Each structure stands twice: as C-alpha cells, then as structure tokens.
Amino acid sequence: MESLLIPFLILIAVAVAVALAARAWSRRRRTAKEPAQQPPAESAELAREAAAKLSEDEHRRLYSLIAQGQAMAAIKLYYEVSGQGLRASRDAVAALAAHPQPFRSPAQEPSEPEDDDEPPQRFPYRYRAIASKGDVTREVSSNMLNDEIYGRIRTLARSGNIEAAATALTRHSDITMKQAREFIALLDD
C-alpha cells in the first residue's frame, strides 16, 4: 500500500497543477475577449466643457502640445491646471484634439450666428477639412475654420445651397470661390 502512496500524491499534485493552469488560461482568454474599457465618447460637448476650464495661455499651450503630437505632455498640463483626475484629463485632451475649440473668456457667451460684417475669428490651430469622391480629393486647411463652422458649411451644402456653402468656405479660408465650389461638390452626404 505504501508503494502506491507516492504515485497517488504525484497524481494529485499534477491534477492541482493542471486545474490551476486551466483556471489561469481561462482568465486570460476571458480578459482578451472582453474589450478594453473605452474612454467615453469624445464629444464636442466634452471638448467645450474642457476648454472652458482653461485660461488663454493654458489653452494656447495645450493646443500647441496637441499640434506637436505630445499627447502625454498635453494630458499632464490639463491634469495640473484643471484639478481633475488623470482619466478625466486624458478624455478631455482627446476630446479637445478631436473637436478643436476656440478660446472663450469666462465672460464671453457662446457666439450668436456670425454677422457678415465682422471678419472671421482666427484660431490658434489649423483645421483640416478633407472631401473626396472617387479618385478626386480636396483639402482645405485654415485657422479660421473649426468643427462648428465646417458643420454649418456642410449643412448648407446638404440643403442644396451650394453658393452659400462656397461663400462661407471662402470667407473662412484662403481659397478661391472656384476651389470652394469644387470642394463643396465633393462633399458626399
């Protein structure tokens, strides 16, 4: 009987080792199948809220870091000036990068629809709008464009008001009316 004790103990040890290995493997597979926690959607609203927490100098420095591709430094700057947590700072910087915001002083209310008499505002970053259809691609890059203005231009184009859309595009960029019409014609909505 004693001769069977050692093989029996070895068998139990192997069974325990196999059970622990199977458990670890299933945990690893389960975590690999579950998608990583995605940050909240980078919305324009989050970007507006984040931009409102910045002074003019902080706003300029943050967008400078974003433009240079220094995301970690931008997150660190936002973390320090906003007093928010690291994850919230990361999400805010991602939203600011995806939806560039002009600086608004705390007393300044959100602007009313633009008056044609005033020159367009210049932003501390260049906005790139790209339109393509088939093999033809056009790009407009300007520091007088942002998501809101480009959205209005696209809305005008979608509603069939091509001339108004082209006029607004030339007003907020340095392209000719002909180039603006070509660009608007490529908007595929």
High-pLDDT (> 90) share of the chain, %: 14
User: What's the confidence (pLDDT) of residue 73?
Assistant: 93
Distance CA 95, CA 81 (A): 16
Alpha-helix residue ranges (DSSP H) falling in 34-161: 44-52, 56-67, 71-82, 86-98, 147-158
Among 1-5, 109-113, 126-130, 181-185, where is mean pLDDT lowest? Answer: 109-113
- pTM for this prediction: 0.39
Give me the chain's average pLDDT, please: 82
* pLDDT digits 0-9 by tens, 80-100: 998 888 999 999 999 988 888
